[in-house]
Structure 1
Amino acid sequence: MTHPFLDRADLRDRVRAALGQFLQRRRDRLAEIEREALAPVADAIDALVLGGGKRLRPAFAYWGYRGAGGADRDEIVAAVAALELVQASALIHDDVMDGSETRRGEPAAHRRFANLHAASGWRGDRNAFGTAAAILLGDLCLVWSDEMLHASGVDPQTLARARPVFDDMRTEVTIGQYLDVQTQATGDTSTARASLVARFKSAKYTIEQPLVFGAALADGGRLAKAYSAFGLPLGEAFQLRDDILGVFGDPAVTGKPAGDDLREGKRTYLIAAAIERAGTAVFDAHLGDPQLDERGVALLRSTIVDSGALQRTEERIADLTESALDALAEAEITDEARDVLTGLAQAATQRAV
C-alpha cells in the first residue's frame, strides 16, 4: 500500500486547503476595511494562489522537513504553504517587469486591473492603474507570506530557528529579479551571467532554500549542506527547463503565448548559448521586440536549434540533474523522503509546463 504522504496530490490538496483558510481570513479583513473596493484584490490573489500551480516549493520544504526526521503535522503544512505567497509575489512583479499579458492562461495581474479600470469607466490611464495595483498586490502577497508563516501554529522556538532561512530566501529572489532586469539593461549575453541570474532569481528559492527551510523546521540544520548540494543544481536545471518552455513550449499547456520570452528579450542561458555560437546579429534584430510575429519567433527558434544551444541546454539540464541526484543519494535522510525527492526532481526537470 502506498504511504499517504508519498502521494504528492494529497500534499497539494492540503497546501491548497491551508492557503484557502488563510486567504479567507485575509478576505474578511479586507472587507472590514472596504468591501466593494477591495473585493477585486482578494479575488485576484485567490485566482493566482488557489487557481493552479505545481506547489513545488511547499513540496520540497515539506519533504526536506520529513527527511530530517520531522513528523507530519498540519502546522508544518501551513508553514510551508506560506512559500506559495512568496511565489505569487514574485510572479506578479515579474509579469509587470516583463510586460507579460497572461499568467496560467489568464490575464496577468496588471492586465486584470487595467481591464477593471476600463470596465468601470474610471479616470486616468488604465495601464498605469493596472501597474500600480499589481505592484501593491505583489507587495501584499509578500507581507501575507510572513503573516501566514507566523499564524501557522508552529511554536515560537521552531519559527525562530527557521525564520533566517525564510528571510534569506526572500532577499535572494528579490535580488535575483533585480539582476535579471540589470542584465537585460546591460545586454550581457554571457552564459556565466545567465547562470548567476537563474541561480538567484529561481533556483535557490524554488528548491534549495525550501529544503533548507524544511530542515530548519525539523531542527535538522546538519542537513543544510547536503540539501544545498542537491537543491542548487536541481533548481538551476528547473530554471533551464523553464527557459526552454518559454521559447518552445506549447501555449495550450504553458498558458503563455508562443515565444513570449523572445518578445520580452530574456537573456537566458539558452539565448546566451545561442549567441556564443551564432553571433548577435539575428538576436539584436529580433530579441526583445514586443511586436515579434510568428515568422520572427520561428527564425529565432531555428537559430537557437541550429546553433546547438537547445542541445547544449538539454545536456546541461541532464548534467545538473545527475549531480543533484548523486548528492541526494549521499544525504543522510529517511528512505521515504529520498524516494519522494527523487520523484520531485524528475517532475521539476522533465515537465511540459
Structure 2
Amino acid sequence: MGKKLSKKQESSETVHSQRIDEIMKTDNNEVQKEIKILVLGTGDSGKSTFLKQLQILYKGGFCEQDRFLYRTTIRVNLMYNMKTLIQIVEDLKIKIQKRTQKIVKRFDRSKKYCEENLTEKMKNAIINLWNDPGFKQAYERRNRFELSDSANYYFDSCERIFKEEYQPNDKDILFCRIPTTGVNEIELEVNNKFWKVVDVGGQRSERRKWIHQFESATIVVYITSVSEFDQQLSEDRSINRMHESLLLFDTISNGDFFKKKNFFILFNKIDILKKKLQTVDLSVCFPKYKGGKDLSLAIKFIKDKFMEIGENSTRNLFFQQTCAIDTENIKNIFGAVTTTVLEDDLKGGGYL
C-alpha cells in the first residue's frame, strides 16, 4: 500500500504526534527503549547525506575536529572531480581554449590527490579550467562518467576552499562524497525515545555486510536517486542505476526479514531530476514512459514501478520526495518516520 502525506494527512499526523507524546509521558516504560531505523539504497543515493543531516538536526552539528578532517577530503574531492572532468573533455573530444590546453597537461602530470598538491597554482588552474566553456559543456554531459553531482558547487567555491583559513560549512560537508564502507550508525534522542539509525554501504561489494542488521530493524528508509535514470553503475557499466535500485528494493522488500516491515521510500535528488527532465527523457530508462518533461508524471511512473514490486504485500509503503541537502526537508521527513514508528508501537500495545 503506497502513501504520500498530503497537507490534510500532515495535520492529522500532528494530532497523532501530540497524542503519542501524552501517552509516552505517562507510560513510557511500555514502549521499547531503542528503535532501530535501517537506511538502505544503492551507492550514491544519498544515504550518508541523510545521516549527516540527522547529525546537524539532533546532535549539534559537526565539531571543529570533524570540520578539519572534512577540509582535506573536500579539497581532494575537488581535485578528483576536475581530473574526471578533464577525462570527459578528452573522451568526448570537446573543444577547449588553447590557453587551457596547457593547464590540462599540468593536471595530467599530477598523480596524487593530496593536501600538499593543493597549491596556489593548482587553485588558479582549476578556476581557469572551470571558466572554459568547453568544461561547462563537459559537465552537462557527465551522465556516462563518474562525476559527482556536487562537482559544480565545489568548482564555483574553489577560491574559498583554497584559502588557508578555510573551514567547511555545513553545506560543504553535506556535498562531500565519501563512499560508505561497512556500517555507520548514529544514535539520537527524539520525542523522549532513543533511536539508532544505521547506514550501510550501497555498493555491491558492501551489501553482504547488511544481513546481520536486518532482523532487529523496526522500519526501513529506502533511498533512491531518481535523477540517475540515465546513468550506469560504477561497478558495472552495463547496468542502469535506476534499474539496479528497483532490483535491490525487490530483493530487500520481498526477503524474509522485511515481509511485514513498513518502508519509507525517499525519491532523492528531486531537484536534479526536475532539471534533467528538460533535456533527457525518462524513456531512456523506461521505454513505456510517455510523460515527457512533466515532473509529476515522471514521479508517478517511478512510484508505480516500486508499487508493482510491493503490490502483494500487506505492509505500508510511504513515498516522499526529498532533496537530501535541504535540512528542513529532511527534518520533516524524519519527523514523519518517527511518528509512524511510534504509532505502530502504540497501536500494537492497544494505546491507539
Normalised by the length of structure 1, the TM-score is 0.29
Q: Which has the larger radius of gyration?
A: 2
Higher relative contact order (CA 8 A, sep 6+): 2
Please identify which structure carries the higher strand content. Answer: 2
Normalised by the length of structure 2, the TM-score is 0.29
Please identify which structure carries the higher helix content. Answer: 1
